[in-house]
Chains A and B, each alone.
Chain A
C-alpha cells in the first residue's frame, strides 16, 4: 500500500511559519516577558524538526542548505563578540549598554546590546539541536 503524507505535509507548511513566528516572538520579548534566546532557539529548532518529520532529511537540506555547525559557531561569535565589544569602550567584559531611539516605523524603541548576546544564545541553541538531530538521524 502506498502511503502519502499529504495532510501532514500541508498542515506542516502552515504550522511551521506560525511556530517560527511564535519562537521569534518569544525571543524578542524575552527581556520583558517569559522567553528569551534559549526557549526561542528550541522552538525554532522544533519547527525545523517538524519539517524533518513531514518531509525527509534530503528535502529539508535542499530547502535550507545550512550547515548547523557553522550556525553554532556564528552564535558563539555573537556572544563573545558582544561581551568583548564592551572592552573597546573601556568598561569591564560583558557590560551591556541600552538607550531609546526613534525609528522610522517602530517609533520610540529601546535598543539593548543584550539582544545581540541573546542572538548568540539563540543561534547556538538552534545549531546545537539541529546538529544533534541531523547527525543521529543520518547515522543509519
Chain B
C-alpha cells in the first residue's frame, strides 16, 4: 500500500469517523471536518501535474486476489489525473456549499457526509484503477452511494422513486459492463487496461470483440445518461442540490465518459464504436436540449441540459476515435474532437456546478424552483444573478466564456466528420453537423429561459413562500469560484493546455503519441471566418428568435402524447414485468398437489423418452430371458386383475381390500421366485398396512364421504399410461443391456467362510452391508416418533391455531 492507495481509500476510511464526529461535536457543522479531506486530496493530486506534463505515469500495485489476476493497481496518467482533480476540487466546493445549504439542526448530516465520502472514494477508485475488476467494484460503489444520496430525503415518495429508478438503470448498465469486462478477459487474458490497450490489434479480430464493445458501451451509456437511458437523471433531481451539483453534473455522470475515453484505444479501431458513441451522443445532444426547453423546474432544465452536454462530450469522443485510423498526427484533424471533449469536460464541470448551486440558492431563498412562480429576482440577488449569467452564457456558448471555446471546437469536430471517408461516413455523416447545430440552438434557448425567466420579468411575491434575499456569503463562495474559473478558462484557455489537456488527450490516443509526436493544444478565440463562426452566429440568431416566440411554438411538445414517452415505457415495463411475474407464478403454482404431480410426471416421461430416443438406447434381447412357468403366469394374472379392479372399484373399502390382495400376490411372487425372507416380511407388512388403511378409512369425516367411482380424466389417463410405458421400456432396455457380471458370486462364495452364516440375505443385511440397515432402523424410529408427535401434540397445536 503506497500513499496513492491510501489517498484513494481515504474517503472510505474517513467516512467511518463521520458518525463519531457528528455525535461528539454537535455544535459544529459536520461538513467542516469533511471539508479538510477533499482539499488535502486536491493539493495532493495537484502535485502530480508536473509528472504527467512530461508524459510520465505512476503505477502502484497492491495484490488483492492475485490468483485471479485481480490487483488493486493505481494508475495515474493525464486522463485519470484530470478526473481526480475534478472530483476532489468540485468535491471540496460542494462540501463547502453544503455546509450552508443543509441545516445542522434539521438534517441527518452524518448520513449525508458518509454517503458523500463513499461516493468520492468510489469515484477516485474508478478513475485511478488500472485493473478492470477493481474499476468495476468502485463503479458499483458509485451506483450504491448515488442511490443512497438520491434517496437522502427518504420520507418523500418521489425521492424513493428516483433512487430506485437510477439504481435499476445504472446497475443494469454496471452488470452489462461486468459482462464486457469478462469478455475482454477471455480475449486478452488480463484485466489490466494498459495491457489490453497494447493488444488492441489482435482484439479487434476476435469473435467476442463486438459483444464486449456493446456491453461496455451499455455500462457507459447508462451511467452517463445517454439516450435512451437518460430517464433516470431528471428523477434523480429529488436529491439535495449539493448532490445534484456534484454527482449529476460534475462527476458520476462523467464516469461513463471516462470509461469511453479510457476504452477508446481498444475499441475505436472498430467502426461500430465510432458510429455508436458518436451517433448516440449526438442524438442525446439534440434530445436533451429539445426536452430541456419544456421543463418548468430549474433543476429539471439543468438535468436535461446535463444530458445534452454529456451527449456532446460523448459524440466528440466518438469522432475523436476516428483519429486512430489516420496515422499522420500533424494533419490529423480528428484529434481536435478529442481535445474538444476533454476541454468541454472541464468547462461543463465548472459552469454546470455553478448553475446547480445557483438553482439551490434560488430554491433555498424563495422556497420554489418553479420558473412559472419565479421572476424579477435580479434586484434581490445581484450576485446570484451574475453567477447565473456567467454560467448560462457559457453553457449557451457565448463569448467570452469557456463554453464558447468548446462549442466552437465541437462544431469543428462535427464539420470534420464531413471529410471522413471510412465506415460509410460519406453518406450519413452529413447528419452530424446538422444535429449538432440544431441541438445548440435549443441549448441557447433553455440557457436563456434559465436566466431570464428566473431573474428578470415580473416579480410575483404572492407565489413565493419566503421573501427573497441574497444568500449568505458562505453559500456564494463555491459558485463564485466556479464562475470565475469559467471566465478565467474563457480568457486564458492555454493555461490548461500543456498541463492538463495534452496529457489527457495523449492518454486517450496513446498509439499515436508513441512516435514521439506531441498534441497541438493551442486554443484561440479567433480563427478567421470559418464555418464554425457562421454556425455560432446562426445559433445566436435562431436562438433569440425561438426564445422570443417561445409561447407560439411550445405546443409542439404536446404533439407527442405522454403515453409514448420513455418514462411511461419504463414505468409500464416495470409494472408489466411485475404483473407478468405475478400472473406467471399464479398461473402454474396453483397450490394443488395434483397439478404439481402432473408437472413432475410429464417432465419425467418427456425427459426419459427423449433421452431414450436421442441415445437410441432401446434394446430387447430375447435370449437372456428365463423360461416362463405356469405359476408365474397365474400369479401375474392375479396381480393384473386385482390392480385393474382397484381402478374401477366404487367404494374405498373395496380398494383397500384389493390393495391388500395385490400385496399378498406380491408375496406369492416372492415365494415363486424363491425369496422366503421377503415373502415373510411382505406378508406381515401388508397385513399391518391394510390394518392402518382401515383405520384411516374409519376416521374419514362424514361430510365428504362420497362413495363414488373415480372419475375418468383423459389427461390423467394419458400421463399414467405414459409413465407406465416409460418405466416398462426402461426396464426392458436395462435388462437387455447388461454390461457387467453381477457381484453376487462374491457373496455366494464368502457367506460362510467370511461371515459364518448360511442365510445370504440376512448376512448381507447385517454384515456385508449392515450400514444400510443401521439407517433403515433409524428411518423406522423417526417414523414412529413422528406419528407419536403428530397425534400427541395435536391438542397444543389446536390451542395455538
Contacts and interface: CB of A to CB of B under 8 A. Distances in A.
A in complex with B = yes
Interface of A: 26, 30-39, 42-43, 46, 69, 72-73, 75-76, 79-80, 83, 93-94, 96, 98, 110, 112, 114, 117-118, 120-121, 124-125, 127-129, 131-132, 135-136, 139
B766 A136 contact: no
A43 B684 CA distance: 8
A75 B791 CA distance: 23
B541 interface: no
A96 to B, nearest CB: 5
A76 B787 CA distance: 18
B791 A34 contact: no
B770 A30 contact: no
A31 B767 CA distance: 10
A79 B680 contact: no
Nearest to A93: B771
A34 B759 contact: yes
Nearest to A96: B767
A39 B761 CA distance: 13
Given A131-B787, A135-B792, A34 B684 contact: no
Contacts, number: 121
Nearest to A118: B766
Given A30-B759, A31-B759, A132-B787, A42 B684 contact: yes
Given A34-B677, A139-B791, A124 B759 contact: no
A131 B771 contact: no
A75 B757 CA distance: 22
A131 to B, nearest CB: 4
B626 interface: no
Contacts of A76: 777-778, 781
B746 interface: no
Contacts of B761: 34, 36
Interface string B757-801: 111011101110011011001101101110110011000000000
Range of interface residues on chain B?
A: 35 or more
Given A118-B766, A121-B766, A132-B784, A39 B677 contact: yes
Contacts of B792: 135
A42 B762 CA distance: 15
A112 B756 contact: yes
A50 to B, nearest CB: 12
A35 B684 contact: no
B791 A31 contact: no
B676 interface: yes
Contacts of B759: 30-36
B755 interface: yes
B490 to A, nearest CB: 87
Contacts of A112: 756-757
Contacts of A69: 784-785, 788
Given A42-B684, A94-B771, A36 B778 contact: no
Contacts of A32: 757-759
Nearest to A72: B781
Nearest to A40: B680
Contact of A38 (B681, B756, B787): B681
Nearest to A33: B759
Nearest to A130: B784
A97 B190 CA distance: 62
Interface string B527-571: 000000000000000000000000000000000000000000000
Given A31-B762, A36-B762, A39-B677, A79 B757 contact: no
A34 B773 contact: no
A124 B763 contact: no
B783 A36 contact: no
B791 A135 contact: yes
B680 A37 contact: no
Contacts of B767: 96, 114
B784 A72 contact: yes
Interface centre among A33, A93, A94 (most CB of B within 10 A): A94
B757 A129 contact: no
A31 B677 contact: no
